[in-house]
Amino acid sequence: MPTEEKIRGKSRWVVNQMDSVPGRFEPDPSRDASEFDGLGFSRSVVVNLLAKGGCQSAFSVMAATRISPLDTPFYQTADKFFTANSKVGLTFDVITLAALYSEVLPRETKLDITLADGLQLNIPIISSDMDTVTESRMAIAMALNGGLGLIHYNMPDREQLSQVSRVKYHVQGLIQEPIKVSPDQLIGDVLALIEQKKFGFSTFPVVDAKGIFVGLLSGHVVKPRYATKKVSEALTPRKQVHTITKKELGKDPIARADKFFTEHIGIHKLIVLDEDDHLLGLITMSDVERITQERKAQFKPARDAQFRLVCGAAVSATRNAFGELDRERILTHAGELVERGVDVIAVSTAHGHSKGVGDMVRVLRDAFPKLPIIVGNVTSAAGVEYLADCGANAIKVGQGPGSICTTRIVAGVGIPQLTALYVCSLAAKKKKVAILADGGITKSGDIVKALTLAQSVICGGIFAGCTEAPGEVLEISGKLYKSYRGMGSLAAMKSGSAARYGHEKADTTRKLAAEGIEALKEASGPVDRVLAQLIGGIQSGMGYLGAANLAQLREKARYIRVSPAGQREAAPHDVVELKTGN
């Protein structure tokens, strides 16, 4: 920190420039902007004023953005703060961020991020590649909101390919696999299906055994009085139903469907067929109206160069019977994923800083030079450097912070998340790769803190209760829950994720050491609603720090540790809570 004499001297220079006639200070590009670092002025502002001069109002802005020397001993930059606390591991709840002067309104902040060439997201949030979190429905919902979903690999290779295709060929607003009935079913069977599945609709497309569309069963006739009638007797025949081919939908299917509904008063559903009358999907007017509203939203869907939704898929470092990396299977499956249009492949293991993972990344990088690759997990700078040298574009940081992960208890290994993120960020800057904060995030404030060090976050538990998550729904004491399990749990490893933790699925000679648990998450509704809360919190945090984008958030962040009493103070206290903040 500069001495008082130096501060007075540099401040005097600024004042003298302000006093110059006519109220402007002249350019002096020969001076080094670093001379003014001790005063707390923004480097970019100083450089601009030294180069171009300015007026008193410009200096006023400079003064407003100044970080007071009185603050700096308490609220420190990442380098100073984490170095000063290098003897202790720190995570989200024991750290808070200091507010700064701001002219940024939360709604004006930009959240877009580039994780690799050809992989851009409009929000810095990724759904985790866990078998109770991300399959095609979740990946579609994430991409429609501007994020990314990583489809897990606890399924047959062919099924994962199918899941990726559903995302890549998803037509926004098109229900690709509508619930359909056959002509030979009874109306009573349809009523039983509605009751069993708790459907909120009663109109169904009717297809024959070959998938050919034969008509539409209207909700007007799906009534108990017609229970003994066959569907074929009650349906509206094909010739009387308005249909359209997928080709006719064109590049903007929503605009085409919107025009159709405007022209056909009273029609609320549009059947989509192929050239041979096979049912491809269904578009409803309510979905079209919702999507039209969404298009006015600040954050647009994340799409690739062909205007398809972005999608990621996880793969494991599988080995053959000789314990060697199964290169042929890995390359075959990765190649098929690329053919389906996958935007990024994630090599997911609990210990990314290992020879097997490095070898696998090299194999993928050699075969697919331009394919974005996410690899993890690590908690050290050495791990980041190793994976970056192997060819990774983005590296997952986190060992043991997840709510259903027990790695730190079972293996005694893992670093509290914010300390791990800071250490890894140093290597990431050097190697010019992105880091992803994976695990431990329970609220939007945690995401803000993570994004001061990482380019994006990966969330599992936050999304596990969403409608789009594949977990089983359970009702307990009148409340709905969804199953949620760690990929290191015994059940998940038996389903295929054992390789992620260094075990073999078929290994019956020794007991697998579980590093995760099986649990329940309270049902939280659709992903759209959860993401709206998270995004709102991120934007609020950026507004407090005067950060217009994520790069400025990382640049401006100032940290301080919080005592246990301070943690209690941060949450609602001394009241009877009637309604939660969520």
CB-based contact 134:313 (threshold 8 Å): no
Backbone angles phi, psi at 263, to 5 degrees: -80, -25
Q: Distance between CA atoms of 420 and 441, rounded to whole angstroms?
A: 14
Backbone angles phi, psi at 113, to 5 degrees: -150, 145
* CA-angle at 38, arms to 110 and 455, nearest 5°: 25
CB-based contact 337:366 (threshold 8 Å): no
* Residue 405 annotated to the active site: yes
Among residues 282, 339, 278, 286, the alpha carbon closest in space to that of 313 is found at 339
Q: Distance between CA atoms of 163 and 151, rounded to whole angstroms?
A: 8
Q: Distance between CA atoms of 548 and 568, rounded to whole angstroms?
A: 30
Backbone angles phi, psi at 11, to 5 degrees: -65, -35
112 burial class (0-12, 13-18, 19+ CB within 10 angstroms)? middle
447's tokens: 């995401």
Backbone angles phi, psi at 395, to 5 degrees: -125, 130
Find how far residue 156's CA is from the centre of its chain: 24
Of 137, 340, 485, 500, the catalytic one is 500
Neighbours of 577 (CB within 10 A): 8
HEC string for 379-400: CCHHHHHHHHHHCCCEEEECCC
Of 405, 424, 459, 466, the catalytic one is 405
Among residues 546, 554, 371, 378, the alpha carbon closest in space to that of 456 is found at 554
CB-based contact 299:147 (threshold 8 Å): no
Q: Which residues are catalytic?
A: 405, 500
